[in-house]
Amino acid sequence: MSRPPLHALLGFATAARLGNLTRAAEAMHLTVSALSHQIRAIEERLGQCLFERGARGVKLTEEGRVLYDSIKPHLDAIELALTPRQRRRDDALAITLMPSFASSWLVPRLPRLLAAHPQLEISLQSNVGVIDFQREATLDAGIRFGPGHWPGLQAVHLFDDWVIPTASPALIERLGKPTLANLGEFPLLGAPGGRWSEWFARFGGTTPERFVAIFDDSENLHRAAAEGMGVVLGRMTLARPLIDAGHLVALFDEKLKAEYAHYLVYPPRSQHHRGLAVFREWLLEEAHAYQAEAAQVPTGKPARRATPAKGKAITRQTSARKTSTRKSSARKRP
């Protein structure tokens, strides 16, 4: 059997991806008739129909889907191999991270990095999905909230996260501050199950049958709580800036450790990137300081003011008594 022409397989894959023969033919710089002929040749070779034709385009048959899934990785590899690669500058760094982490944690700290290393050129790209660093050759590293294991990537632990019920001052003023026992009677944001169930199982109270609202985005979830919609089991990385600004109040000292943690991840090709080495060292220092600060300040309470040592307190009290005695003696003198 002769080898199948690669251009026919490429035409088939293009039609499968676009779902339209006319657009696929234009992308391949062919006529629709020529592309149809190529696809028909593959169908005759396999003895299978690969597309279902409809008024709005074409759709893969089950056999067509199997073929497409088989050849797509190889076509992607060929495309990647032929993509021109530029040498990365050591003072330019491209980082992918989630928008919520960027706005709540990283961006407020970046001025310190650039003040200490003004030669660095940082490019932040917001993305919540899984990144293929082989295809995204311009990206050097990423920051992700996850389990810590990504195949083929180096993962550096930055810090753990914690979750705690938080609410807006307006909601507390309207409904009062909840207790551990009656928290389930308040409007809660989220969904039955998950961490809320774990919270009530560990700290008491009754899980409500109905939640006020469900969000698929953590940042919008915390914003909704800040607007007074309800109580959110807030992740401290996102909730802390809102708490510091007075938009949210942490309701209890009790808290749950988040099931995931924050990591710096990067492919093997970035191991010797000097800009990334500088960024990694700075990021670990910031993460350590943040973790220490979070441990020192009790959740839901203001930071305690330091009390003077006993010896110093006694000295000041003794001194004050001596001063008072001198003043009293002076008044008794003629």
pLDDT tens figures, 252-299:
999 999 989 999 999 999 999 999 999 999 999 999 999 887 765 444
Choose between 318 and 67: higher pLDDT: 67
> What band does 138 get if pLDDT is binned at 50, 70 and 90?
confident
Choose between 105 and 136: higher pLDDT: 105
d(CA 252, CA 29): 65
User: Count of residues for the chain?
Assistant: 334
Helices (H) and strands (E) in the chain, counts: 12, 10
pLDDT computed for residue 87 by the predictor = 57
Instruction: Kindly tell me if the per-residue pLDDT of 215 is higher than 70.
Output: yes
Quick: pLDDT tens for 199-210.
999 999 998 888
Tell me, what DSSP letter sits at residue 148? S
Average pLDDT over residues 64-93: 78
Q: What is the dihedral of CA 212, 218, 223, 224, to 10 degrees?
A: -10
Average pLDDT over residues 46-66: 90
Nearest CA to 132 out of 88, 83, 80, 93 is that of 80
Instruction: Kindly tell me if the per-residue pLDDT of 315 is higher than 60.
Output: no
- Computed over every residue of the chain, the mean pLDDT equals 83
Nearest CA to 180 out of 165, 197, 192, 160 is that of 165
